[in-house]
Amino acid sequence: MSGPESTIAISRRRPGSRGLEPFVFNTLNTIFMIILVIVTLYPFLNTIVVSFNAGNDTIRGGLYLWPRQFTLQNYKAVFVSGTIYNAFLISVARTVLSTLLNIFLTTMLAYALSRRNFVFRKPITTVFVLTMYFNAGLIPGYFLMKDLNLINNFFVYVLPSMISAFNLIVIRTYIYTIPESLVESAKIDGAGDFKIFWRIILPLCKPVLATIALFVAVGAWNSWFDAFLYTSSQQELSTLQYELMKLLSSSMNANSNPSVSNGVGMQNATQVTPISIRAAVTVVASIPILVVYPFMQKYFVVGLNVGSVKE
Amino acid sequence: MEEIAIGAKPVKQADPKKKRRDKRVTWAIIKDQRQLIYMSVPLLAYIVLFAYVPIWGWSMAFQDYKPARSFGEQTWVGFKHFKFLFTDDNFLRVLRNTLAMSMINLIFGFVTAIILALLLNEIKKIFWKRAVQTISYLPHFLSWIIVTGIVATSLASDGIVNEMLMKLHLVDKPILWLSEGKYFWGVVGASHVWKEVGWNTIIYLAAIASIDPALYEAADIDGANRYQKMWSVTLPGIKPTIVILLIMSIGHILEAGFEVQYLLGNGLVVDWSETIDIFVLKYGIAQSNYSLATAGGIFKTVVSITMLLLANWTAKRLGEERLL
């Protein structure tokens, strides 16, 4: 990973980096980057502002970077409703369980496939890689879930997404970088493959596993389609993102039809509107990601680059 | 004995001819490698069940499938449903939408990511570069639900985009971005760029970082300016990466996405927003026309694989990097 730094160090010494042209370029480039940062961050800031602003006041518009009438009413309304609270717990449970299972099983397989003398290495790899481009599709998939009794079952969130071929290849590629002699010496000491996997490979894979865990966790946390498709008739199994999706579609319809918007979502609290509720749920749904993200960032760039290396 | 055999194999590895001889599967090897086999079995069984067994369901596309009947009792109708698809105006429109949005995403996505990577590469202050990167990756980790919520808010008649356009006097009344079909593809393309552009640059930045610095020095000595270096050193340097990513994307040409279109679409723009995936969902789940929906799904998979093989073959012919 010394690549970017060394390129930059050299570019500093480039003869052509003085004079008017580089100055103009650098200024324009900086302005462009500032615009990029604003365009990326502003919508979040605005959503956070809306979530802390009194609902009735938000309708007047003109909210930019700071709440005009600060209130916690929207968040109270979100957490008072048992639906969102329950959905939050379901989302956490599925994310944790999916991530642990996925990481453990994928790494175990990746270890087996990284043993170059393993006789079934090629055929097994092919079976998994094909799934990157190939799937039976929605309807056969739906019937499979039905046959497996997974409709309206919590495990429909965990079981269908236990592995991704991409993650498998990333982890396997990473294991290749672990010196073979470590495994060999453990073999000579009489360790079996299970022991080597558990004691040597798994601890050494921490950086790449952090990356993959982030991908898997984000995927599990963000998915709503499975809830929509398989558990929509079972309110207790609803996930946070699916609840957000329902809020979004109801408030979008309210937007396109102003006469309705006055009645929606204001059963008891006068200050709360569909738009402010939606903002609050959006914030709640993105907080876990915003919290984990800075810690994981240093890993995923490495992880992604490892994954891009061809065999 | 066994330990020695295992220890000796990586040495054999070095010689490709001997490696091939190793491929013979004997009971002794299976016994020797049984732990590796045990480690592979759970996920292998899993993937066969979840990815390969459902392919059996493709038979539905060639039947007039009725859920109440057993497999033997279904009526086989051959290619009836496929024929229907290709003469059905709905499906053709959905196909057009899918291809259009997919092409827009592909072209927009590649061009913006490459340009951003080139510009980021020109930033010399490492702290500032890292900061911009960190921020630009962020939307990748948010769900489409959140992103479409943000897009819908920003594009509303009183949203920030219309407000800006009005203040700059580019328009005199708000544009209804999400209620007019002609804007829909553009909105979807822009949303994709917003969400993924930073993320897509990671791989190009890594590729740029691995270009031999001596090439830049040589270009300097030849008197190349910044743009000439970008054009003649950096771009050729990342060309293999671009080709590989293009091949991978072309395999997904019929996967314009489902979530964005489903979440942003509404009754007013339905003619422009529905993709094959939405079509499958609508016919399959909502109307229980399983056979037709399955036929649509099969079409998508077959096209994906054909396109992937075609792109890979083309890349091979052009002497470029390839995937398979």
Interface test with B, best of A139, A232, A245 (most B CBs within 10 A): A139
Share of chain B above pLDDT 70, in %: 91
pLDDT in tens, chain A (311 residues): 344 444 444 444 454 456 788 888 899 999 999 999 999 999 888 889 988 988 888 877 777 788 888 888 888 888 887 888 899 999 999 999 999 999 999 999 999 999 988 989 999 999 998 888 778 888 999 999 999 999 999 999 999 888 888 889 889 988 998 888 999 999 999 888 999 999 999 999 988 898 889 889 999 999 999 999 999 888 889 999 998 888 877 766 655 444 333 334 444 445 678 888 888 888 988 888 888 887 777 776 666 665 554 43
pLDDT at B4 over 70: no
B33 contacts chain A (CB < 8 A): yes
Task: List, for residues A179-205, the tens digit of each pLDDT value.
Answer: 889 999 999 998 889 999 999 999 999
Domains of chain B (ranges; CATH) run 27-75 (no CATH), 85-318 (1.10.3720.10)
The count of C-alpha atoms lying within 13 angstroms of the C-alpha of B221, restricted to the half-sphere facing its C-beta, is 6
Q: In B, residues 71-100, which contact A (CB 8 Å cutoff)?
A: none
What is the C-alpha to C-alpha distance for residues A152 and A229, in angstroms, rounded to an integer?
9
A106 contacts chain B (CB < 8 A): yes
A24 contacts chain B (CB < 8 A): no
Q: In B, residues 115-154, which contact A (CB 8 Å cutoff)?
A: 116, 119-124, 126, 128, 131-132, 134-139, 141-146, 148-150, 152-154
Alpha helices per DSSP H over chain B? 2-13, 16-22, 27-32, 34-47, 80-87, 89-121, 126-137, 144-155, 160-167, 181-209, 213-221, 226-229, 235-250, 259-264, 270-273, 276-281, 290-317
Three-class DSSP category at B76: strand
DSSP A49-92: HHHTB-HHHHTT----SS-SSB-SHHHHHHHHSHHHHHHHHHHH
| Single-letter amino acid code for the residue at A296 | M
Q: In B, residues 218-257, which contact A (CB 8 Å cutoff)?
A: 220, 225-226, 241, 244, 251
What is the C-alpha to C-alpha distance for residues B279 and B221, in angstroms, rounded to an integer?
58
Q: Please list every residue in chain A whose beta carbon sits closer than 8 Å to the beta carbon of residue B312.
A: none
Query: Is A106 within 8 Å of A167 (Cβ atoms)?
Result: yes
> For position A253, what pLDDT does the model report?
61
Measure Cα distances from B101 to B109, B254, B274, B319 in Å: 11, 9, 10, 29
Query: Is A244 within 8 Å of A278 (Cβ atoms)?
Result: yes
A29 contacts chain B (CB < 8 A): yes
Q: In B, residues 290-309, which contact A (CB 8 Å cutoff)?
A: 290, 293-294, 297-298, 300-301, 304-305, 308
> CB distance A282–B146 less than 8 Å?
yes
Residue in the structure block whose two tokens are 């040589």: B218
Query: Residues near B142 by Cβ (< 8 Å), separated by ≥ 6?
Result: A222, A286, A289, B195
Query: Is A244 within 8 Å of A251 (Cβ atoms)?
Result: no
Per-residue DSSP letter, B87:
H
Extract the tokens encoding B52.
């390969």
Extract the tokens encoding A63.
């909210």
Three-class DSSP category at A309: coil
B285-289, long-range: CB within 8 Å, 24+ apart, which pairs?
B285/A138, B285/A139, B285/A142, B285/A229, B288/B67
pLDDT at B132 over 60: yes
A241 contacts chain B (CB < 8 A): yes
DSSP B135-155: HHHGGGGS-HHHHHHHHHHHH
Which residue, among A11, A110, A275, has the nearest Cα to B126 in the 3D structure?
A: A11
| Single-letter amino acid code for the residue at B196 | E
B13 contacts chain A (CB < 8 A): yes
Interface test with A, best of B26, B33, B43, B320 (most A CBs within 10 A): B43
Task: List, for residues B185-237, the tens digit of each pLDDT value.
Answer: 999 999 999 999 999 998 898 889 889 999 999 999 998 888 899 999 999 99
Buried b (16+ CB within 10 A) or exposed e, B71-84: eeebeeeeebbbee
Q: Which helix (H) or strand (E) holds B82?
A: helix B80-87
